[in-house]
């Protein structure tokens, strides 16, 4: 390393540029999208109000994406997260209103406890996925395709296939545009919660043994095993942790809806996966970042919101979003082939 040739030095510089590009690539995409819509609709797109709306729209997907990023880096996938979110909204509504199960009367819970209960339901969903994957040694795609259906069914069962109306509490204000008296907060509390957690998860991935183990498992499970990484236990933990984030996404979704809805978040699993993938994660595992996933989620929202502001019809927006997913991943492949 002491005697680098000129060639090697250029190579180093070139590779630094590449790593930098890989890190900020999605960010450049976001800046581009925002700049595009800002120039096309300068009156309606780049306003404080609209930015706040976009952040609100992104928060649920972004919270779910925190857990999904961990799973995808570890080489797995979770298709059941949308169903889990729906189940959680129903569970929270039930906790808030009180319910009867097997003749046992559960009294109405205070909002904090109900939210905690919702997160616990999310953790249980993740644990179910994790146990099936590690104990039965099944592919995550298959397991979560199964729980995708099963959890949606459970949500419908718990809701008697109806909207579950819940008493109004402070939970409902987590994801609301701020009232003038709360302007000092800058952003709604739900957004702050998501950002704080993102910071924690990002730090965990980079600065803890568990975080590095997640990368190792996704990059090469056999190597991880050879090096003494407790692969099965780590995977279970990853799915449970992701379940907790799904639970939290459910709390935020409930806050947004103010009712328990067993049909909510249908197809959201794909939005979440798309956000993670646009953010630079590889479905083969071993690659991905929290920052990237957040930017990915923002890109999706910005495109959707921008199309609305352009008065494009919904179907146009869906085609554009689909195109962006493919374009982002193709760009990533191209970049990797160069290496």
Partner 1 sequence: MPVEPVAVTTAERLRMVGVHKRFGATIALGGVDLSVAGGEVLALVGENGAGKSTLMKVLSGAHLPDDGAMCLDGQPYRPRNPLDARRAGVAMIYQELSLARHLSVMENILLGMEPTHGPFMAWNLVRKRSAEAMAQLGRPDIPLDAPVYRLSLAEQQLVEIARAIAIGCRVLVLDEPTSSLTKRDIVCLFDLVTRLKQQGHAIVYISHFLEEVKEISDRFTVLRDGRSVGGGLTADASTDQIIAMMVGRTVDELYPRSPRTAGEVVLEVNDLAGAGKPESASLTLRRGEILGIAGLVGAGRTELLRSLFGLAAVRSGKIKFGAYVGASSPAGRWSQGMGMVSEDRKAEGLALSLSLSDNITLSKLPPFLSPSRQDELSMRWIDRLKIRCRSPRQSAGDLSGGNQQKLAVARLLLHDVDVLLLDEPTRGIDVGSKAQIYQVMDELACAGKAVLMVSSYLPELMGVCDRIAVMCRGVLGDAKPVKELTEHQIMLEATGSGEAA
Options 206, 314, 322, 333; binder of partner 1; rule CB under 8 A: 206
The encoded tokens of residue 86 equal: 């729906």
- State how far the alpha carbon of 26 is from the alpha carbons of 67, 151, 185, 267, 296, in Å: 19, 32, 28, 23, 7
Among the listed ranges 55-63, 99-107, 182-190, 218-226, the one in contact with partner 1 (CB under 8 A) is 218-226
| DSSP letter (8 states) at residue 254 | H
225 contributes a contact to partner 1 by CB under 8 A:
yes
Q: List CB contacts of 61: < 8 A, sequence separation 6 or more.
A: 249, 268, 271, 272, 275, 297, 300, 301
Q: How far is the CB of 11 from partner 1 (least distance, A)?
A: 6
Question: What span, in angstroms and rounded, lies between the C-alpha atoms of 2 and 206?
Answer: 28
Residue closer to partner 1 (CB basis): 104 or 226: 226
Residues 7-26 that bind partner 1 (CB under 8 A): 7-8, 11-12, 15, 19
- Least spacing, CB of residue 67 vs partner 1, in Å: 21
> Whose structure tokens read 């999310």?
122
CB of 269 to partner 1, least distance (A): 25
Residue with tokens 């779910």: 64
Q: Which stretch binds partner 1 (CB under 8 A): 22-30, 93-101, 214-222, 290-298?
A: 214-222
> Which C-beta is closer to partner 1: that of 12 or that of 39?
12
Window 277-316: contact mask with partner 1 (x via CB under 8 A): -----x---xx-----------------------------
Cα–Cα distance for residue pair 30/25, rounded to 1 Å:
9
Cβ nearer to partner 1, comparing 201 with 251 = 201
Instruction: Kindly indicate which of the ranges 41-49, 162-170, 227-235, 304-312 contains the residues binding partner 1, using the contact rule CB under 8 A.
Output: 227-235
Q: Six-digit token pair at 308?
A: 């609305």
By the rule CB under 8 A, 227 interacts with partner 1: yes
Q: Does 334 bind partner 1 (CB under 8 A)?
A: no
Q: Enter the DSSP assignment of 303.
A: H
Decide if residue 215 touches partner 1 (CB under 8 A).
yes
Contact status, residue 172 vs residue 258, Cβ threshold 8 Å: yes
Q: Which of residues 243-282 bind partner 1 (CB under 8 A)?
A: 282
Quick check: helix, strand or coil at residue 75? coil
Query: Please, which residues have CB within 8 angstroms of residue 149's CB and are 6 or more apart in sequence?
Result: 83
Report in angstroms how near the CB of residue 76 gets to partner 1 at its nearest: 16
The CA-based angle 329-335-339, given to 5 degrees, is 140
Residue ranges that bind partner 1, judged by CB under 8 A: 1, 7-8, 11-12, 15, 19, 206-210, 212-213, 215-216, 219-220, 222-230, 282, 286-287, 339
């Amino acid at each position: 390393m002491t005697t680098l040739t000129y060639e090697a030095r250029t190579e180093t510089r070139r590779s630094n540029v590449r790593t930098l590009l890989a890190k900020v690539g999605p960010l450049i995409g976001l800046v581009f999208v925002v700049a595009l819509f800002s120039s096309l609709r300068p009156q309606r797109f780049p306003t404080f109000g609209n930015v706040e709306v976009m952040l609100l729209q992104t928060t649920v997907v972004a919270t779910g994406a925190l857990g999904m990023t961990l799973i995808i880096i570890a080489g797995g996938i979770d298709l059941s997260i949308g169903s889990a979110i729906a189940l959680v909204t129903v569970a929270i509504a039930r906790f808030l209103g009180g319910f009867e199960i097997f003749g046992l009367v559960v009294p109405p819970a205070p909002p904090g406890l109900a939210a905690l209960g919702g997160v616990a339901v999310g953790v249980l969903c993740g644990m179910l996925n994790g146990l099936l994957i590690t104990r039965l040694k099944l592919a995550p795609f298959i397991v979560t395709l199964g729980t995708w259906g099963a959890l949606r069914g459970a949500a419908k069962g718990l809701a008697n296939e109806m909207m579950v109306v819940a008493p109004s509490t402070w939970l409902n204000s987590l994801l609301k545009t701020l009232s003038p008296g709360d302007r000092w907060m800058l952003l709604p509390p739900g957004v702050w919660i998501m950002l704080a957690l993102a910071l924690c998860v990002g730090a965990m991935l980079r600065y803890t043994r568990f975080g590095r183990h997640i990368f190792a498992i996704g990059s090469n499970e056999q190597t991880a095993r050879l090096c003494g990484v407790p692969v099965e236990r780590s995977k279970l933990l990853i799915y449970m942790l992701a379940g907790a984030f799904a639970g939290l996404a459910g709390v935020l979704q409930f806050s947004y809806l103010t009712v328990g809805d067993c049909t909510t978040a249908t197809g959201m699993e794909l939005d979440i996966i798309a956000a993670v993938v646009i953010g630079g994660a590889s479905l083969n595992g071993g690659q991905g970042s929290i920052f990237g996933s957040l930017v990915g989620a923002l890109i999706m929202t910005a495109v959707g919101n921008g199309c609305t502001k352009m008065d494009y019809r919904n179907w146009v927006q869906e085609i554009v979003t689909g195109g962006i997913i493919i374009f982002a991943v193709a760009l990533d492949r191209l970049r990797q082939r160069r290496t």
